[in-house]
Structure 1
Amino acid sequence: MTGKVFTVAQQKGGAGKTTLAAHLAIAWAQLGYRVATVDIDPQGSLTRWHAVRAEATGGQPGFTHVQITGWRTQAEVEKLARAHDIVVIDSPPHAQTEARIAVRAASLVIAPVQPSPMDLWAVHPTIDLAAQEKRRLLLVLNRVPPRARIADELIAKVHELANPPAVELAAAQVGNRTAYAGTLMTGLSVTEAARKTQAAAEMQALAEEILGRV
């Protein structure tokens, strides 16, 4: 049985794409799934985190990781999907050929959106790309600050982007919490190093919700 492929995509850099991919990968591995991560972002942030994790865990990161580029993406993802339950792709932050291939390979495209005007505008190319490739897209509110009027207004604008079944909005939200970056610095995730925190609860809820949608 072929595994599910989740491509994390967002045209705007700094939207938290890699952070989300890393934490979700660990959350799914903790649920007992065979997980593989694929880094096709030229910045290679997910690959650097995996190296830190491998050292921190004594060479037992708990999932498979590959870094690839361009034309090899489709074949490598298909190969990984045959041997794993879940494949998570961290795609580059631009509408390049690699991003299109990653979206095309996905069972579901996950687009993190911060409640900011720039993120709101920048997510439209990702929505368009998913539509062109006929792939469902799930918007995930990311780095949501404590309640504020402007944040609530922007969140309402994100809700307006939802157009089921092609474009959906996750019920689980990810807060603006230092634990997400802090745990990655040590090669871990919030569901490992900060298990009893709100951050861990958010990520576990999102991981389970995404699985429920496919």
Structure 2
Amino acid sequence: MNILAIVSQKGGTGKSTLAFSLAVAAEEQDIRTSIIDMDPQGTTKKWYGRRESDGGPEVNALNATQLEPAMPLLRKQGIQLVIIDTPGADTPGVTAAIQVADLCLIPARPSVADIEASAPTVSAIHRLGKPFSYVLNQCPPGRSIRTMDAFRVLQLTGAVASTPLAMRADHMDALATGQGVTERDISSKAAAEIRELLKWTLNKMEGKPHGQKQTRVA
């Protein structure tokens, strides 16, 4: 069972939309997936309440003390991938999520402010000795100097996913309708980006090469 924690102590970076869209994309590949919602705002749990699909992923709201004991139970249920949606603040829940994670994914918008704001999160991850990677999220659509520059900076400071995600309406539409972007429009650019990010993330957690290529947003 792989455990992915999506962490950032800065709000508004798109942790919840990443969590449920990655989870839906994983389920579409027959990977049994469970989302843990640790954010008091409950964005992912509310998304699940709007969901009409009979299939996965399941969503459970847990606190910091419940998280670690839940992992063996999920493994026993045959869950293959756990995605943890964390609060946008420094809380015991964030620490607990980092502690159980096989990989921490840090979403950041392509701006100096967002990258600088990720420093406390990176420090916490280093302190707990866990692997991590950035993912550029909510990038300007099309080829963007801002995205390219942010990618180069993050390559120097730590790992960064080779597929940035553009700011697209499909993400907000999926949130509103209880879907993942790969369900909302299976042939959309947003869906293709999420599938590629899922592949990159799974390879990273399983130690498989994925090829760090030059970033582009189309």
TM-score by length of 1: 0.90
Matches of 2:147 and 2:99 in 1, distance apart? 32
> Number of paired residues?
203
**Which residue identity is paired with 1:42?**
P
Describe how 1:1-214 pairs up with structure 2 within 5 A. 3-53=1-51, 56-57=52-53, 60-83=54-77, 84-145=79-140, 146-162=142-158, 168-214=159-205
Shift of 1:87: 0.5
Secondary structure of 2:110's match?
A: coil
Secondary structure of 2:75's match?
A: helix
Q: What is aligned with 1:165?
A: none
Runs in 1 of length 4+ with deviation above 4 angstroms? none
Q: 1:15, 1:114 within 8 Å by CA — same for their partners in 2? A: yes
Shift of 1:74: 1.2
Q: Which runs of 5+ in 2 are unaligned?
A: 206-218
Q: 1:193 to 1:75 in 2, by over 3 A?
A: same
User: Mean Cα displacement is larger for which, 183-192 or 5-14?
Assistant: 183-192
Q: 1:62 to 1:8 in 2, by over 3 A?
A: same
User: Mean Cα displacement is larger for which, 148-157 or 100-109?
Assistant: 148-157
How many percent of aligned residue pairs carry the same amino acid? 27
CA RMSD of aligned residues (A): 1.4
Q: 1:4, 1:81 within 8 Å by CA — same for their partners in 2? A: no
- Tell me the alpha carbon deviations over residues 8-67 of structure 1, each in whole angstroms, 9 at most, x when there is no partner: 0011000001110110000111010111110011110000001101xx22xx24222210
Q: Which runs of 5+ in 1 are unaligned?
A: 163-167
Q: 1:5, 1:81 within 8 Å by CA — same for their partners in 2? A: no
Secondary structure of 1:7's match?
A: strand
Q: 2:151, 2:160 within 8 Å by CA — same for their partners in 1? A: no
